[in-house]
Structure 1
């Protein structure tokens, strides 16, 4: 009898362990649903990150229902292979209102969304910083590598999009990006395809800080440059660091773009080192004589700049449009 009791006890322990293991396995899903009405797995995007397993090799999709999510989100470095899929670009709004002059916060802590992880995709959603125009206010801050943004809206004023990380690679397809001053800035390699770049004030669009030993900084391919009606004097870019690289290819430029195109940030030495140019520009903003120190690419260089396999080959090969 004692032996039978011991056997039953051992069996119970084994079964309990199996159920516990199964419960732990069930925690990790390939599809996670976020809905503020409580019908999903989580009601906030921040909480949904707890449902994504660290350093996983399979892809997890976080499905986000329409709603305004006032959150300050950090995608940590141990998360990869995650797709954040919004129900609609206009309907899913991730927002916050921090700016650089709140408690001496500084530019790089003002983000609404910060992406430290790599191999992350964002699709069909809006990331916004709606702080009043009292200083720098980043909507999206990226540090990770191989980040893909498709049909997203990035809304803000000064410093809307910070592309951080030397040798980091980002792809923006069919996105809407707006801002006032230097609203696309940083050292990463970023390719913008068929995006709308909207200026809200007379100022500068880009402020690249491309390192000297990185060949490609920003490439804008077939983008549309627009502005608010009262905006009439906008530069394509100015160098945040001396070797800034920015090229506009086959872009439609509104009349708000100044004929000179580029600004040297008040340093003549930047004219010798910065790598600025364009090819195939059209529209009223493409008219006039550009800065003499701009270095426009030739047809062979343009072909290379439009080849994602080459643009994103600075460390390993990556093509965000190939599965």
Structure 2
């Protein structure tokens, strides 16, 4: 599979990593979902050619400081006084990567999102560690606060075999820009009580609950692509947190044969998810939201939309979901959702 991934990445130059991610972009847009000129697809122009700007360079061919991403992270100083910047040369890195809690202020930058790929194939049954096996399936796990990633693809290549996480992030103030997250069920686990995370101009694909967890996470100008009839989000927002997942100016697309997708269902009873100014393809069901067969959750969840667009915005939503007014929508600004006193605009790329 590695050889196939590499060959396709070189041949295409971007945005098509492997046959296992067929439909990632090609064939993913029908007439309802914005066409082939999708502004939310990742841009593979890159801005990371000057290795002098980085503390370490990772290259599979041995021309850098390290040949694996994990080795570069493990070689970085714990609790560094200054940000650690790591350039990852184009290539397919089949490894399980963890940014440890003692490695805050780490920046990972790939040369190009479609050609700098972190991939692994762990899944629930393969891990076989009991009922919590999902949480060991990640390809990339981020625990160090103030993490930054740009121009990377993170893939769980296990296929449609159940829970298989690509990105597991429970760090606070984590930023992902122009990245691609590929998988099936449980692709992105945005976790951590009180943790705040920001995804800008990213591409996320999956089948079931492929954005899930308890973090406060903003997805701005992202493309969110469904590969099966199922659910996009499964928030587990703690009752004490005012926001869960917030999608701003995003686009929801789907494979051509997908036609029955819910915006979300509550993993926990106080799930909070909102879509603002989001274009939705016809695959989104009129009801929009599902109670996960728990009617009691309908009185505790906060599911909301404002100015949804496209054919998926039509029809009568579940009566327990909110249609925000313009004034109410102002509460969901990026600054209000992610900001806190003293932090400033921490989501800016370099702070």
Aligned residue among 187, 205, 209 for 2:214? 187
Partner of 1:311: 337
Partner of 1:247: 274
**Contact residue 278 and residue 309 of structure 2 kept, 8 A:** yes
User: What count of residue pairs does the alignment treat as equivalent?
Assistant: 294
Aligned equivalents of 1:95, 1:30: Cα separation in 2: 23
Aligned equivalents of 1:231, 1:209: Cα separation in 2: 25
Partner of 1:18: none
Aligned equivalents of 2:127, 2:241: Cα separation in 1: 35
Aligned residue among 59, 76, 79 for 1:35? 59
User: Structure 1 residue 247: deviation in Å?
Assistant: 0.3
Aligned equivalents of 2:297, 2:339: Cα separation in 1: 26
**Contact residue 218 and residue 338 of structure 2 kept, 8 A:** no
Partner of 1:61: 85
Structure 2's unaligned 5+ residue stretches are 1-52
Aligned equivalents of 1:103, 1:155: Cα separation in 2: 19
Partner of 2:76: 52
Structure 1's unaligned 5+ residue stretches are 1-28
User: Structure 1 residue 103: deviation in Å?
Assistant: 4.5
Larger Rg: 1
User: Structure 1 residue 169: deviation in Å?
Assistant: 0.4
**Contact residue 312 and residue 318 of structure 1 kept, 8 A:** no
CA RMSD of aligned residues (A): 1.4
Aligned equivalents of 1:219, 1:87: Cα separation in 2: 29
- Is structure 2 residue 191 aligned with structure 1 residue 164? yes
Aligned equivalents of 1:131, 1:30: Cα separation in 2: 32
**Contact residue 30 and residue 59 of structure 1 kept, 8 A:** no
Instruction: Give the structure, 1 or 2, with the largest relative contact order (CA under 8 Å, sep 6 or more).
Output: 2
User: Structure 1 residue 171: deviation in Å?
Assistant: 0.2
**Contact residue 61 and residue 83 of structure 1 kept, 8 A:** yes
Partner of 2:117: 93
- Is structure 2 residue 136 aligned with structure 1 residue 131? no
4+ residue runs of structure 1 moved beyond 6 angstroms? none
Aligned equivalents of 1:305, 1:249: Cα separation in 2: 8
**Contact residue 127 and residue 136 of structure 2 kept, 8 A:** no
TM-score (normalised: structure 2)? 0.81
Partner of 1:297: 324
Partner deviation per Cα, 1:43-80 (whole Å, 9 max, x = no partner): 10011113311111311210000000000011100111
Aligned equivalents of 1:115, 1:248: Cα separation in 2: 25
Aligned residue among 95, 115, 126 for 1:71? 95
Partner of 1:206: 233
Aligned equivalents of 1:281, 1:208: Cα separation in 2: 20
TM-score (normalised: structure 1)? 0.88
**Contact residue 116 and residue 153 of structure 2 kept, 8 A:** yes
Aligned residue among 276, 292, 303 for 1:265? 292
